[in-house]
Amino acid sequence: MALALLLALRGAVGIGLVELQLGALSGAGWRAEGVHLHIDWHEDAGSRFKLTVGHWQLPGTPFPLQNTEIDCSQGRMSDDLLECSQGKLTLSTPLFENDSFPIRFRWNAPSGEFALELDGAKLAGGQVELKLNGTASDWSLALAARSLDLARLDSLVRKLGAEIPSLNPKGRLDVSFTLEGGSELRQAAWQSRLRRIAFSDAAGTLAGEGVEGAWSGSLSSSGGGYRGESRLSLDNGALLTPWFFLQPAGKGVSASARFSFDSPLKRLQLHSFRYHHPDVIELDASGRFRQGDEVAVESLTLSSGEFPLAALYEQYLRPVQSNAELERLYPEGRARVSLSMGQQTALELELKSARLSQGGSAAGAADENISVTGLNGRIHWSSDAGVKHRSSISWQSGRLLRRLPFGAGEAEFTLAGDELKLTHALTLPILDGSLHAERFALTQSESGNKLLFQGYLTPISMKRISTEFGWPPLAGQLSAMIPGVAMEGDALKMRGVALIRMFDGNLLVKNLVLGDLFGALPTLEADVEVKSIDLETLTSTFAFGKITGRLGGKVENLRMEAWRPVSFDAVFATPADDEGSHRISQQAVDNISNLGGVGISGALSRSFLRFFEEFSYDKLGISCRLHDGVCDMGGIEPAGAGYYLVKGGGLPRIDIVGFNRSTDWRVLIEKLKQISEGGTPVIE
């Protein structure tokens, strides 16, 4: 009103200079104090005016603007027009780092048209340019900010009262955007450039280093909401999250999307989404989301093109693995994946000529815990335990527990909820036999993994087994009935007793527990009962020398680490009910004697004994308690200062007495290896 009066008086009486003290002005949500207006009219040279506001509180700002001044050195003022073609804005605010910068504006009163240009403002270590024009019902805004320092910008945003995650950002950002609208926003577009961005949360689970890329997009109003598209490209740097790791390495990883949402931002429709990582993976997706206390997925479909397993695992998954077993997982071949989410979640994985190994190294190694080659098939999983689609997977060959090779096969199963279950019996060829799985189920729960297994092992040549494990060559066959196996946590526990037939006798395995099977140090604990082993079959295997008769015994508290014994309590002896022939050869006598610091006694001199190829014995036996790398040895009964290893009977009679009470386990094993190879142990 005052300005209108001044303009009218100027026209009537020719006023040239005006000083106006307005005191305080206020409106809806704003208040200005200490308002001072200075106007100097010049008809030919234009007008000069200066507006000063001592204290200005604007809506939506957490702090007032202090000592604000607009000094227009070249302008025009009339009944219809207020224009400043050359002016300077001075203000004191934590928002900008300089106190004054150029400003230009124009306002046409009858039409309501306005224009504002501001440049040279220093913000967060960079510079900002702003252009605003139009009318209240049809306006546009363009803002460009160059080389913003993210550390300073983060501090500034916090001063403005915004609650944002603490990520300690660094680097520079270039950003520009345009807005168009009236009473509401009609459309928007933006472009930004990321320059050597780094950030990290307090826990270190979310981090970035040297990130370079660009983000652009646009929005337009549509049906009471907005439609838009966006594109993000990353060229260099590294990103770490709890779920994946990403290192573009100059390959131009990109993500683009088309979307729409309602104006309250309660529902988001993802019309299309594409993620592209050259030579690694491509993903396409669409879906609907709802905003509440948390973002909820109403529906989502996602599918990939065919991708290389090794590249995906190396690029995205291995760096975030905290599980040592998964860190040593090496997949190869190709795969395809699809995912759908809604009332239930379903996942499908297709494998093509894949290989999977755990342990060893990327190049492959003899210490692989497990490896499978020639994997092909489709795996279906549903979150609904009642929806069970059949999955099938085949393979060409593989290796278990580092040493046991197995042949081609196929498994049919269902994978639903937290359970994997065989639908048909599975036959797994192992060496010259096979493992038959009649029942197999694996369930995951909060208390850990649970496994149920029931099956049997058809005869496998002991010679083949000993070759694979690097043992002395063994004769006979290995077969077993496996009444049941359960998994609790990382340990496999056998239920009941497993029967193993070998050397024409039986081994009963009880209390079997296998731990950390796919770790660096797999363990085995068990109790073993030996029944009626044929000694002639056993000794002929090792070039030990011939012994006839039967052998029984037990191994209690057996513990193996990395498939090597570290402790046990073993006793072996001739069974009391063995009524067969008991004969022992001269070679066997020599080998038994050399194993334990042995003395040989009898009615005949040793020089005479050498003329006999075989001797008769009543009973034989040995015991060993292994602990701390030492074997505490014993025999079937005391013999003076020693113990009987062989007690003679009949003619020619021979007794073998042991005197060594303790021996180094490694030395004992080395002697056995020499014997098995037909040599004579070296006694030191």
d(C-alpha 595, C-alpha 314), whole Å: 52
- Identify any residues that bridge with 277 across adjacent strands, giving them in sequence order: 281
Give the pLDDT confidence score for residue 604 in this predicted structure: 36
Give the pLDDT confidence score for residue 452 in this predicted structure: 82
Give the pLDDT confidence score for residue 293 in this predicted structure: 75
For 55-85, b/e burial (b = at least 16 CB within 10 A) is ebeeeeeeebbeebbbbbeebebeeeebbbe
| CB contact at 8 A, 298 and 306 | no
d(C-alpha 653, C-alpha 647), whole Å: 9
Give the pLDDT confidence score for residue 461 in this predicted structure: 84
The sign of the torsion formed by the CA atoms of 163, 167, 172, 176 equals negative
d(C-alpha 577, C-alpha 589), whole Å: 23
d(C-alpha 621, C-alpha 646), whole Å: 7
- Identify any residues that bridge with 48 across adjacent strands, giving them in sequence order: 40
- Identify any residues that bridge with 488 across adjacent strands, giving them in sequence order: 450, 491
| Phi and psi torsions of 206, nearest 5° | -130, 115
Give the pLDDT confidence score for residue 667 in this predicted structure: 82
DSSP 388: -
Those residues whose C-beta lies under 8 Å from the C-beta of residue 42, and which sit 6 or more positions away, are 16, 48
Q: Does residue 251 come out as left (phi exceeding 0), alpha (psi in the -120 to 50 range) or beta?
A: alpha
Q: Which two tokens stand for residue 534?
A: 């044929």
Give the pLDDT confidence score for residue 679 in this predicted structure: 46
- What is the identity of the amino acid at 568? F
d(C-alpha 419, C-alpha 354), whole Å: 24
DSSP 629: T
For residue 616, give Cα distances in angstroms to 179, 443, 445, 635. 107, 57, 61, 18
Which 3 state secondary structure label does DSSP give 10?
helix
d(C-alpha 269, C-alpha 258), whole Å: 9
Give the pLDDT confidence score for residue 683 in this predicted structure: 34
d(C-alpha 368, C-alpha 397), whole Å: 14
Alpha carbons within 13 A on the beta-carbon side of 682: 2
d(C-alpha 197, C-alpha 212), whole Å: 7
Token pair 């740097």 is at which residue?
Answer: 237
Residue among 129, 56, 47 at smallest CA distance from 87:
47
- What is the identity of the amino acid at 452? L
Q: Which two tokens stand for residue 471?
A: 């043992």
Report the residue count for the chain. 684
For residue 153, give Cα distances in angstroms to 109, 145, 303, 417, 482. 37, 12, 38, 46, 67
Residues of the chain with pLDDT under 70: 1-16, 41-46, 59-62, 325, 360-367, 447-448, 471-476, 488-489, 518-520, 541-543, 595-612, 673-684
Token pair 């290896």 is at which residue?
Answer: 673
d(C-alpha 70, C-alpha 424), whole Å: 85
Per-residue model confidence as pLDDT tens digits over 258-302: 999 987 778 899 999 999 999 999 999 999 998 877 788 899 999
| CB contact at 8 A, 367 and 402 | yes
Preceding peptide of 165 cis, ω within 30°: no
The enclosing H or E element of 12 equals: helix 2-13
| CB contact at 8 A, 107 and 124 | no
| Phi and psi torsions of 321, nearest 5° | -80, 125
| CB contact at 8 A, 378 and 391 | yes
| CB contact at 8 A, 405 and 398 | yes
pTM score, whole prediction: 0.73
Q: Which two tokens stand for residue 536?
A: 């002639």
Alpha carbons within 13 A on the beta-carbon side of 135: 8
- Identify any residues that bridge with 550 across adjacent strands, giving them in sequence order: 534
Give the pLDDT confidence score for residue 574 in this predicted structure: 93
